[in-house]
Amino acid sequence: MRQRPDHSPSASAPTLRPVPTFRLKSDSEIEALLGPPLPPDRARVDHYDVLDLLALGGMGGVYLAQDRRTGERVALKVLDPRFAAHPDLVARLFDELEVSARCRHDGLVEVRAARKSRCGLSYLVMELVDGENLGQLLDGRKVELGAIAAFGAQIADAVAAMHEAGVVHCDLKPENVLVRYEHGLAGWPRIKVLDYGVAQFVERPVPEPDAIAGTPAYMAPEQWHGAVDRKTDVYALGCLLYELLTGTPPFRGSLADTMTAHCEVRPTRPRLLRSGLGDTLDDLVMRMLAKDPGLRPRMCDVACWLTELAFAHPPGSRDEDETTLMAMAG
């Protein structure tokens, strides 16, 4: 077990590499990845016809594609060719296949293949999930208690499977959770967790301990100092639940202020920011946000507790006078 580094203010801060969030961009930016925009019958990566851009970020793009051999539609995650000369970035992309192979779970997006195309593009072939990410769905809205519990339970159950397989996700956030509008736990929508680009294998040393990757608003104190373990994901899920409850993550601000807050500041209790919230979920979230990883619950226990709460608050139980998630979907 790796010793936890000093989290005091005097400890030197690492160089942070924020994980890019995929977002829609212009045709000129698509051209930088796959060449000039082409009709669907001409845009191709190996035997996949590229039909549409799903999302684009700082490291590459995700595309809707169709396998010419089988007719199946898939998602292709393509590394920006400008990074082709960086073996560590190519290896990180291809590591997502190993993560997916180790961690079989219905709540995890499946990565089916990692390849280099004939023209030199590095890409992943992934399961295509029909839905929208949780960040798009939220858009500043508060979500009802039952939906929060159901989403949290499903995320926790999926990530607990990763932990059982010796993998830490390291980047849980709303944008990495896909919501599908079909009935799942306790009648709430199903979810899937995606993006294993910065996941860490427990048995391997963390690469480049002085340069870390993550999304600042959801990073545990130890993650800021290059040390991660399973409890790091518990903290990130706590931040995500906090945002679902209150409309904002526990801490926001400059990079330096956010780091200091995560390492030193106790967040305001969710129940003080959301009227009508009882002690059960409030206490659980605060335990998940403990500065000391040893004081946080296990992810599998979080899944069990949130599952009970989800079944206690099914769709239609008007615990709070808020727009329901299912109504948003309609």
User: Which residue numbers are catalytic?
Assistant: 171
Per-residue b or e along 204-228, where b marks 16 or more CB atoms closer than 10 Å to that residue's CB = eeeeeeeebbbbbbbbbbbbbbbbb
Owner of token pair 């942070």: 16
Tokens (6 digits) for 146? 């039952």
Q: Is 309 helix (H, G, I), strand (E, B) or coil?
A: helix
Give the C-alpha separation, 316 to 144, whole Å: 10
Asked whether the beta carbons of 195 and 111 are under 8 A apart, the reply is no
Whose CA is closest to 234, among 296, 284, 283?
296
Give the C-alpha separation, 163 to 330, whole Å: 35
Cβ burial, residue 8 (10 Å; 0-12/13-18/19+): exposed
Give the C-alpha separation, 262 to 114, whole Å: 35
What residues have CB less than 8 Å from 152, skipping those under 6 apart?
237, 240, 241, 244, 302, 306
- What is residue 250's DSSP assignment? S
Give the C-alpha separation, 103 to 172, whole Å: 16
Give the C-alpha separation, 77 to 62, whole Å: 4
